[in-house]
Amino acid sequence: MYLRQVLTIAAKDLRAEWRTREAFNASFAFMVVILVLFSFAFDPGNSDISIPAIAGGMLWIAYSFAAALTLNRSFARELQNDCLDALLAAPILASALFFGKALANFALLMVMEIVSLGVFSLLYNVKVLAQIWSLLLVIVLGTWAMTVMGTMFSALTVNLRLRELMLPVMMYPFLVVPLSAAITLTSDLLNGISFGAENILWLKVLVFFDVLFTSLVVLLIDVVLVG
Amino acid sequence: MREPIKYVLLTASLGLLLWSLYKIGYVLPLEANVAAYQILYLHVPSFFAAFTGFFLGLFASGIYLATGNFKYDSFAAGANEVALMFATAGLASGMIWARYAWGIWWTWDARLSSMLLCWLVYVGYLFLRKSVEEPTQRARLSAVLSIFGCVNVAFVYKSIEWYRTQHPSPVLSFRNGGDHMGPGLEAPIWWNWLALVCLGVVIAMVRMQQGEMSREIDALRRQAHSY
């Protein structure tokens, strides 16, 4: 029952996105622009700079920027025609609404990230396929951390005047721990270092962050949305 | 400033600060194995007072969410504000010490950056309070952010043990289990902490009354407009 409600909300969001593809196109273009800009910050032709060593940072900075852009709209687009009020009046728990939206955002971000991982691999000549399953695991965990915090802050800032500005200002300080963990792991994997005693801690940090903050959001989302 | 409790706390705080200033200046040995270690007696208690304030803010926010009494919202706002001030003092004193001991104002060490992050989280809290005008919504949203912020502070506090750090390692007996400093050297830290917490509580109480008063004025203004 609960699961069906979650899936209905997620399907609704994905359908709306599929019909316009607004968020996806804009965020994907933005991500590519950032990846291109990085080539001016760190000259990839310079042999002193090892691209795989900083690849994790480049990827996740681009991911998190695009995520802020996408997640900002998650609740804000329900303001038109008072859709948010209708959603809140629907006979479902606020957490079902949250998880539905989070699931849709997660799917959207995952598609975007995997496509841009390919673009990144082409542009910077980084081999991503060697440990693709471990890399995907890191991307899934890191993306869930971004999604859960971003969707939460999207709900929290939906009625604010400076919504577009407030979301990143409040969200990034929370995301630094999971992002730094994901960056370390991604750089390791792209350098051919697999999970081991050296970096397994960061995987645990990611899992722990995801579990802790997802439970916290479930506890508090009712207060945020309904009051 | 009508209640005597505030005067008592304020006097106790100032007395304790003066007394420990005397101890630091005249009683404690000048030389130790860390350069200019005396600043520690401001640096460490500032952060302890900041964390105390963040925790008080967390509790007050929780009580607000449970009872809906605006008094606790004002207290949470005051406590978090004061705590942010102490965190700023701690960061500033640390930077001054770093300039003296390391020759640089700042380094991207895990402890320093994690504290800067906590600081940013609560700057976001103040931004949020400023940008929401409706009092009930402001109280609700900022209570949620305060809870999130405090959990993040705990998470970050734990995370500094995962990084290699160049910051002097914990010297207090409850962290390392032994008397690294000796009780005579350690005592002023605790006394200063108490002094700063007393001072913070006084300021937070004043802020609380200010909040109550501004709510009263708002209510009166609304009443006047309705005629």
- ipTM, two decimals, is 0.86
Q: What is the largest CA-CA distance in chain B?
A: 71
User: How is residue B24 written in tokens?
Assistant: 């630091």
A50 pLDDT exceeds 90? Answer: no
Q: Do A176 and B145 touch (CB under 8 A)?
A: no
* Residue B12 CB contacts under 8 Å (≥ 6 apart), including other chains: B195, B198
| pLDDT at residue number A65 | 92
Share of chain A above pLDDT 90, in %: 47
Interface probe, candidates A170, A172, A199, chain B, greatest B C-beta count within 10 A: A170
Q: Which residue has the higher pLDDT, A148 or B107?
A: A148
Residues of B in contact with A173 (CB under 8 A): 117-118, 120-121, 124, 152
Q: Are B97 and B43 in contact (CB under 8 A)?
A: yes
Mean pLDDT of A101-107: 94
A149 pLDDT exceeds 60? Answer: yes
| pLDDT at residue number A79 | 87
Q: How many CB atoms lie within 10 A of CB B8?
A: 12
Q: Give φ, ψ of A198 to 5 degrees.
A: -70, -40
Tell me the HSE value of B102 on the side-chain side, using a 13 A CA sphere.
14
Mean pLDDT of A181-193: 89
DSSP label at residue B169: P
Mean pLDDT of A146-173: 90
Which range is least confidently modeled, A34-48, A79-93, B117-131? Answer: A34-48
Mean pLDDT of A151-161: 90
Query: Cα–chain-centroid distance for residue B109?
Result: 21
Q: How many CB pairs under 8 A join A and B?
A: 63
In the structure, what pLDDT confidence band is assigned to residue A179 with cuts at 50, 70 and 90? very high
Q: Does A220 touch chain B (CB under 8 A)?
A: yes
A125 pLDDT exceeds 90? Answer: no
Q: Do A176 and B65 touch (CB under 8 A)?
A: no
Residues of B in contact with A220 (CB under 8 A): 144, 147-148
Is this prediction's pTM over 0.95?
no
Residue of B nearest to A223 (CA): B140
A11 pLDDT exceeds 90? Answer: yes
Phi-psi region of B132 (alpha: psi -120 to 50; beta: other; left: phi over 0): beta
Tens-digit pLDDT string for chain B (227 aa)? 567 888 888 888 898 888 888 887 777 776 666 667 778 888 888 988 999 999 999 999 999 999 988 889 999 999 999 999 999 999 999 999 888 888 888 888 777 888 898 899 999 999 999 888 888 888 999 999 999 999 888 887 777 676 655 566 665 555 555 445 565 677 778 888 888 888 988 988 888 888 888 888 988 998 888 87
Task: Looking at chain B, list the stretches that DSSP marks H as alpha helix, in order from N- to C-terminal side.
Answer: 4-22, 40-67, 70-101, 110-131, 135-159, 173-176, 183-226
| pLDDT at residue number A163 | 84
Q: Do B145 and A170 touch (CB under 8 A)?
A: yes
